[in-house]
Amino acid sequence: MILTDEGSALLPVLTKTLDQVRTVLDRFLDGQYREALNVRVVTTFATGWLLNRLPELSE
């Protein structure tokens, strides 16, 4: 299969657009919007308190 000139011109545009659509759709899980949460804490707090409670926070 060989792309036409029009197909060659559209390929990067469509690839970028579909990648953007995939990125947005990947943020949904079971119909619920989800985002990444970055948390920075000291190691002693993370190991002594936070890690044990992470499963409860994801509900």
Task: Find where tokens 């990067």 sit.
Answer: 12
Q: Tell me, what's the pLDDT at 35?
A: 76
Residues 6+ apart with CB under 8 A from 33: 27
Please give the chain's pLDDT, 59 residues, in tens: 788 999 999 999 999 999 998 888 888 766 777 777 788 888 988 888 888 888 877 65
Closest CA to 29 of 2, 49, 58, 5: 58
Centroid of chain to Cα 8: 28
Cβ(37)–Cβ(45) below 8 Å: no
The answer to whether 5 and 12 have CB atoms below 8 angstroms apart is no
**Structure pTM?**
0.49
